[in-house]
């Protein structure tokens, strides 16, 4: 009977593995949130500013070229 109770209860190593896995999941979620914040607050605005200027210069140059033709 004691053997059956021992088999049904989780081993100490299983509980430790679950705790370790839970900590890894929490760390992964925190890292993903930090990466999202970095992208939204730093990378995207800088890229948008750069690409916006490139696009504006391209459009302005095309407009000037068309104006010279007419």
Query: Could you count the other beta carbons within 10 Å of the beta carbon of residue 18?
Result: 11
Number of domains composing the chain: 1
The number of residues making up the chain comes to 70
Domain enclosing residue 18, as ranges = 2-69
Give every CB contact of residue 62 below 8 A, 6+ residues apart in sequence: none
Q: What is the pLDDT along the chain (70 residues), one digit of tens a residue?
A: 555 555 555 565 666 777 878 899 999 999 999 999 999 999 999 999 999 999 999 999 998 898 886 5
């Amino acid at each position: 009977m004691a053997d059956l109770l021992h088999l049904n209860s989780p081993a100490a190593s299983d509980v430790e593995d679950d705790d370790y896995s839970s900590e890894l999941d929490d760390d992964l979620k925190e890292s993903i949130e930090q990466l999202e914040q970095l992208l939204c607050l730093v990378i995207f605005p800088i890229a948008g500013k750069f690409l916006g200027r490139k696009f504006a210069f391209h459009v302005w140059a095309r407009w000037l070229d068309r104006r010279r033709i007419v």
